[in-house]
Structure 1
Amino acid sequence: LWYHDHSLGMTRLNVYAGMAGFWIVRDDVEDSLNLPGPAPRLRDEPETKYFEIPIAIQDRSFNADGSLFYPGSRTFFDGYDGPFIPDSSVPPIWNPEFFGDTMVVNGRTWPYLEVEPRKYRLRLLNGCNSRFLILKTDRPLTFHQIGSEGGLLPDAPVALTQLLMAPAERADVIVDFSSFEPGDEIILLNLGPDSPFGGLPVDPEDQADPETTGQVMKFKVVELTGEDTSEIPAELPPIEPLTTELPARDLTLNEEMDEQAGIPIAALLGTGAAGPLSWSADVTETPTSGDTEVWRILNLTEDAHPVHLHLVMFQVLDRTPFDADAYHQAQAEYLEGDKSGPPPDPKDFAEGDPVERNSWEAGLKDTV
């Protein structure tokens, strides 16, 4: 798990200022797999060797004196300099998204980690406010992903050459540095964009600045100090698929616009039946304890957008391409009418068959 502040109206600032970290939960099944370790613990001896490393990746910007920079005006985001509330609907300080120009790992800018030529377990967190990460190394290295937010993946690890991580996503991976020699250096790169993520593939000209945000950290290979007896497991415990006979819920991600200025002013959640809803609206999702439900999340915004739930885990089913503009129009007509029938069915606006979830999304998750 990861903990982070969630004060209403201040989350982005408090997380940006540093109020975030890991909360690692273990069980006997995981402990029986002979994974690389140990991880850092309170009151460890000073010379303890660690082979399980939590890595929280964030992007930040700094003032000349080293203090954190965060934009104090909407102008920073898109150049809009007014009019603001009350002369328009545009908030003066709210920025739709923020992208820093410096990569920070565990609170340090562009750090390095000394690694021995052996296996390591890396627990990766995308702790950025807005940035999607595409992590890859500059020398051939495989990420053997064994887990995500809710624990171990089912059945077997997934071998990947790069990791796509939305804000709040975690990836539990094993990497094997045994093919490298002492003195070798490996750079962990970020091939994601310096702007809102629109999906894969990312055009090379849209990738992060290779001199700054395109680099995350460095691994420096040092001498092996002892035999590596840890393993990359061939098998992982199965996870029973969730099933239900209950009807699906349709939830929407919406972007509210100032039509005169032509710019976004708010991101709102909503439902298929009620449309966009404010924070103060009545609760719409009231599942009964013990029930399993299918939630169909419709992204009606321009960008890919992570959905992060608290205190519950879910299983990703699939993704279906659909005509968002046509659905949005049909929903608007339904909301403006007498609502005598059912709201629009997203399946009627599908533009292809459902796309199966990615292999690394097969476990229990809280972010997608």
Structure 2
Amino acid sequence: MSPVLEKFVDPLPIIGIIKPHKKTKEGAYYEVGMEEFRRKLHRDLPPTKLWGYNRQFPGPTIETNRGEAVHVKWMNNLPNRHILPVDRSIHHLEHIPIVRSVVHLHGSETKPDSDGYPEAWYTRGFAETGPSFSREVYEYPNHQRATLLWYHDHAMGITRLNVYAGLAGMYIIRDWKEKALNLPADDYEIPLMIQDRTFNSDGSLFYPVQPEDAADNLPNPSILPAYAAETILVNGKVWPYLEVEPRKYRFRMVNGSNTRGYQIYLDSEQPIYQIGSDGGLLRKTLELNQIRLQPSERVDVIIDFSKNMGEWVTLKNNLGPDADPNNDLAHIMQFRVTKPLKQKDTSSLPQNLSQISSLKANKISTIRNLKLVGSNDKYGRPLLLLDNKKWDDPITEKPHLGATEIWSLINITGFGHPIHIHLIQFQVLDHQPFDLERYNKDGQIIYTGSPQAPAPNERGWKDTVTAPSAQITRVIAKFAPYTGDYVWHCHILEHEDYDMMRPFTVTDPEK
């Protein structure tokens, strides 16, 4: 579908940091508008119609320090028609406006009325609002560790479309502990949002109206079970390049794709040093040959180009042993080590990074066994559910404020799911395989191996974890610091929209 586009002809855009409208003793205040605009995403493509925060794709980066509150008025200035096909047969969407938005700051520990609850949507100018809408200005207290978060649309039933249209951006929290490590900084610290898109020949975004094998009785448009697009974009450019100096660089990466996961590596066969994950710095620096990055996961890495002067190094996507190495999707972006070294590189690559206290010593109040289930709707479409319940079913997960729980994610579907839990950062305990064929026969869990410890780069703080097929993935979390309604869901956006998302409520037992 996408026209053939030459790789590495456009420079990588460096996403700017937005300045606050004002600062008071309550914190920084921003106004960010969602608008429709056009932008060239590749040298040989006509301008693409997009939706973006402050007319940017991705949106501007918000940067703050730990403990400094940020207030954002997220303003919907979008037109009343969508640029992508909306299936109104799900979530009673036929009864509410087509174009709606609500912003979720992914990974943020914030109160529920600023979390971007899917039913807290609103239309242009806040003219119409959803049943959970409660405020126009969101507050982010930023009491958590320094890390890269990202913000994106979270409106009920159309998250996949609003994000695909361009509604996503990055958010960085800093603290003195991180600064004391002397990591590459300023021009040598570069956030990278990796996404995929398909284009029509006129430059417009292509998103399928129906699945390829759509039955005659399906709604038109109809939601897809998944969608992996045909070109890779970084910071809003198709297969860009970045000119770098022969020195260390820090890259803050987020997988902002709807469905596609990545296995990133360098074609120069040099290591990638991972220093952080979703919830901030790891305990120790990891020297890795490749890193898996599922939708919504973040990795904080250092690449040392000091021995690559004059070389072009490509950030690749490992598609598997039987894949065509010339496949377009095996390429992400290119680093050209062609800039002269401005001055001696005095930044560090420390071995020890941070302290991470294990939650295993906490009193465990509840262990929840939660199944990831596949079924079909009345049209025969795939319907993926959490614990075999739909969004509208009564809330069943009600952790107490301050309680530590273990959630066992039992994946009985045929593929992995990146599971995201709002409000908290958790720790991965283990993954244990079981006989899925046996389970499908008689419902018994028969283990086929012992519990496997998480990979070294899964041992930091996480807010999204891959739950592989035919495995039980256990995570441990302390549900704090706020009470109220939140959600947990698969972060494959097509799954989240239908219907692999459930509410949970943090309760105060003393009230």
2:408 match? 296
1:235 match? 352
SS at match of 2:418: coil
List aligned pairs for 1:76-95, cutoff 5 A: 79-84=213-218, 93-95=222-224
1:15 match? 163
The Cα shift of 1:188 comes to 0.7
Q: 1:60, 1:104 → 2: CA distance?
A: 7
Q: 1:198-252: per-residue Cα shift (whole Å, max 9, x none)?
A: xxxx3323x6x63411110010112111111100012122211102333410111
Q: 2:350, 2:298 → 1: CA distance?
A: 19
2:460 match? 363
SS at match of 1:204: coil
Structure 2 portions without partners, runs of 5+ = 1-148, 466-511
The Cα shift of 1:82 comes to 2.0
Q: 1:281, 1:189 → 2: CA distance?
A: 42
For residue 280 of structure 1, the aligned residue among 392, 416, 431 is 392
List aligned pairs for 1:148-167, cutoff 5 A: 148-154=277-283, 156-167=284-295
Q: 1:327, 1:132 → 2: CA distance?
A: 27
Q: 1:299, 1:245 → 2: CA distance?
A: 23
Cα contact 1:315–1:365 (8 A) shared by 2 = yes
- Which letter does structure 1 place at the counterpart of 2:369? D
1:195 match? none
- CA-based RMSD of the aligned residues comes to 1.8
The Cα shift of 1:282 comes to 1.2
Asked whether 1:253 is paired with 2:406, we answer no
Structure 1 pair 283/349, CA: closer, same or farther in 2 (3 Å)? same
Q: 2:297, 2:396 → 1: CA distance?
A: 25
Cα contact 1:255–1:264 (8 A) shared by 2 = no
For residue 185 of structure 1, the aligned residue among 285, 296, 312 is 312
Q: 1:254, 1:212 → 2: CA distance?
A: 33
TM-score calculated relative to the size of structure 2: 0.59
The Cα shift of 1:97 comes to 0.6
Q: 1:180, 1:92 → 2: CA distance?
A: 49
For residue 176 of structure 1, the aligned residue among 304, 324, 328 is 304
For residue 131 of structure 1, the aligned residue among 249, 254, 260 is 260
Asked whether 1:35 is paired with 2:163, we answer no
Cα contact 1:74–1:92 (8 A) shared by 2 = no
- Give the percent of matched residue pairs that are identical in Structure 1 and Structure 2: 43
Q: Which has the higher strand share?
A: 2
SS at match of 1:307: strand
1:215 match? 331
Structure 1 portions without partners, runs of 5+ = 39-49, 86-90, 193-201, 271-275, 332-343
- Which letter does structure 1 place at the counterpart of 2:215? D
1:306 match? 418
The Cα shift of 1:284 comes to 1.4
Q: 1:260-282: per-residue Cα shift (whole Å, max 9, x none)?
A: x9x65211111xxxxx0011011
Asked whether 1:322 is paired with 2:434, we answer yes
Q: 1:17, 1:210 → 2: CA distance?
A: 28
Q: 2:461, 2:346 → 1: CA distance?
A: 28
Q: 2:163, 2:246 → 1: CA distance?
A: 35
- Which letter does structure 2 place at the counterpart of 1:184? E
TM-score calculated relative to the size of structure 1: 0.81
The Cα shift of 1:26 comes to 1.0
Cα contact 2:433–2:450 (8 A) shared by 1 = yes
Q: 1:100, 1:354 → 2: CA distance?
A: 35
Q: 1:250, 1:324 → 2: CA distance?
A: 16
Number of residue equivalences? 314
Q: 1:133, 1:367 → 2: CA distance?
A: 15
Q: 1:258, 1:23 → 2: CA distance?
A: 37
Cα contact 1:142–1:175 (8 A) shared by 2 = yes
1:45 match? none
Q: 1:226, 1:204 → 2: CA distance?
A: 44
Q: Which stretch shifts more, 246-255 or 309-318?
A: 246-255
Structure 1 pair 21/210, CA: closer, same or farther in 2 (3 Å)? farther
Asked whether 1:70 is paired with 2:207, we answer yes
1:203 match? 321
2:108 match? none
Return structure 1 stretches of 4+ with deviation > 4 angstroms. Answer: 328-331
- Which letter does structure 2 place at the counterpart of 1:18? G
For residue 352 of structure 1, the aligned residue among 449, 453, 472 is 449
